[in-house]
Structure 1
Amino acid sequence: MTRTVLIIEDNPGIGELVRMQVADLGMQAVLIPRGDTGLDRFREGGIDLVILDLMLPGMDGLSVCREIRSSPGYVPVLMLTAKSTELDRVLGLEMGADDYLTKPFSVAELAARIKALFRRVDALDSRAPEPAQEEEVVVDGLRIDPVRRRVFVDDQEVELTAREFELLWHFARHRGRVFSRAQLLDAVWGYNHEGYEHTVNTHINRLRNKIEADPANPRFVQTVWGVGYRFMD
């Protein structure tokens, strides 16, 4: 089945360059020059990868990425940015981007990143268990339903983003096991963003704010100082 790549880029030259490269890889390309209309197209469905500029009219790339990550399911996001500061890269990753390229970039590098993202998606799909084989986890008032991807705390449903759910489910399936930040990036994000382990901290803080009665003294996702995190045993 032909994959469809949504390109949200307002620079006509760069947008056309990316579109041509996607087409050369045998994929269908959809090019949209605005953040808001690009997000509308994503929500229509059928998108397998989003290539997203950081600076866009209508809605900036970070906001678009945040909305994509709050949607059901998982679609990889490759962020393009003219900025090269560490803060910009970290913000992109913390909003849910899977990878980024700093402009100017080579066509060969763009193709390599696209192929790598799809290899990671295929690898995650191949090792994912059948939903029907997964059982609910219920512990101390927290209930996690992996089939419907729903979470309840004291019978009240909690809305999690796709990445937050994947992080919580990974913890719950390995109760008591300690994971480093690098291990969590590899297991939940699909590969390790070297040097950006602190994006895990951000997601865990958001997760705690949603599922813990007292996020400062968490019951479920616990910190193991100097090592990483674990789910309550």
Structure 2
Amino acid sequence: MDAPHILLVEDDIALAEWVEDYLIAREFKVTTCHRGDDALELIRSLQPDLVLLDGMLPGIDGLDVCKTVRPDFTNPIIMITARDEEIDEVLGLEMGADDYMTKPIRARALLARIRLALRRSVPNQSDNVIEAPRHEVILSGLTVNSESRSVMLNDEPVKLSSNEFDVLWLLAKQAGEVVSRESLVTDLRGFDYDGFDRSIDLRISRLRKKLGDDSANPFRIKTIWGKGYLLAKDSW
């Protein structure tokens, strides 16, 4: 099996060299660049398994890079920034980032985030065994397939990022039932819900747009206030 290919986009040369050496020593393939405009071209041409993307970059900043590539690039993007402010995290997630880290980067935390993001983006063999009897959910015009990680809406493919697919699959498996925000966070982020994590809400928002849902009055992915989300069975 080929080593996962990571594109590291970081304008701090010393930090970039340290991260690159650390990841190569752990058997990742790493390509490094230091500008946002270069990152755009490399993401499109290389299609790396994961992107580590600094928020502040020359040429084009990291948020704009993320926003620009996200419609076509479905692999994980982890944003890295020097500023520990909630607005930066929210903006990064709204632009389509899968995760968010602040500097100074701790090596083990970075490695754990990378491995978790890669596990989410590639179907796990043990997961397939568990889900084999029911790897596809069909709701009128919507088809969600966990083996191919594909989505069709009215016979047209819907391109989702890895984390968007994960949310949709969890909702589709329990279509017509309320899925709590707590269980979504625990399943998808790997830690207990603390009442403040907004990443699930932002993924739901992006899903609604791609599935043609009404953001003001959603009828496909419904918010059940105080409880969670529900994927409607009869609205496709």
Give the alignment's TM-score, normalised by structure 2: 0.77
* Aligned match of 1:125: 123
Q: Contact conserved, 2:213 with 2:221, CA < 8 A, in 1?
A: no
> Closer, same or farther in 2 for the Cα pair 1:7/1:151, shift >3 Å?
same
- Distance in 1 (CA, whole Å) between partners of 2:195 and 2:3 is 34
- Distance in 2 (CA, whole Å) between partners of 1:190 and 1:64 is 27
Confirm whether residue 220 of structure 1 aligns to residue 217 of structure 2.
no
> Closer, same or farther in 2 for the Cα pair 1:190/1:65, shift >3 Å?
farther
- Distance in 2 (CA, whole Å) between partners of 1:94 and 1:122 is 22
* Aligned match of 2:7: 6
Confirm whether residue 114 of structure 1 aligns to residue 111 of structure 2.
yes
Q: Contact conserved, 2:144 with 2:169, CA < 8 A, in 1?
A: no
The letter of the residue matching 1:97 is A
Q: Can you list the C-alpha shifts for 1:166-197, whole angstroms capped at 9, x where unaligned?
A: 32232122112222223223334565675553
* Aligned match of 2:100: 100
- Distance in 2 (CA, whole Å) between partners of 1:217 and 1:211 is 14
RMSD: 3.1
Following superposition, the deviation at residue 45 of structure 1 comes to 3.3
Give the alignment's TM-score, normalised by structure 1: 0.78
Following superposition, the deviation at residue 136 of structure 1 comes to 4.8
* Aligned match of 2:91: 91
Following superposition, the deviation at residue 8 of structure 1 comes to 0.4
Following superposition, the deviation at residue 152 of structure 1 comes to 1.8
The letter of the residue matching 1:224 is I
- Distance in 1 (CA, whole Å) between partners of 2:193 and 2:38 is 29
> Closer, same or farther in 2 for the Cα pair 1:212/1:22, shift >3 Å?
closer
Give the aligned length. 225
* Aligned match of 2:33: 32
Following superposition, the deviation at residue 19 of structure 1 comes to 1.6
- Distance in 1 (CA, whole Å) between partners of 2:108 and 2:71 is 27
Confirm whether residue 53 of structure 1 aligns to residue 50 of structure 2.
no
Q: Can you list the C-alpha shifts for 1:3-47, whole angstroms capped at 9, x where unaligned?
A: 322110112222222222222323222110111222322222362
Deviates more, 1:4-13 or 1:63-72: 63-72
The letter of the residue matching 2:226 is G
Deviates more, 1:212-221 or 1:9-18: 212-221
**Which runs of no fewer than 5 residues in structure 2 stay unpaired?**
none
**Which runs of no fewer than 5 residues in structure 1 stay unpaired?**
none
Percent of aligned pairs with the same amino acid: 34
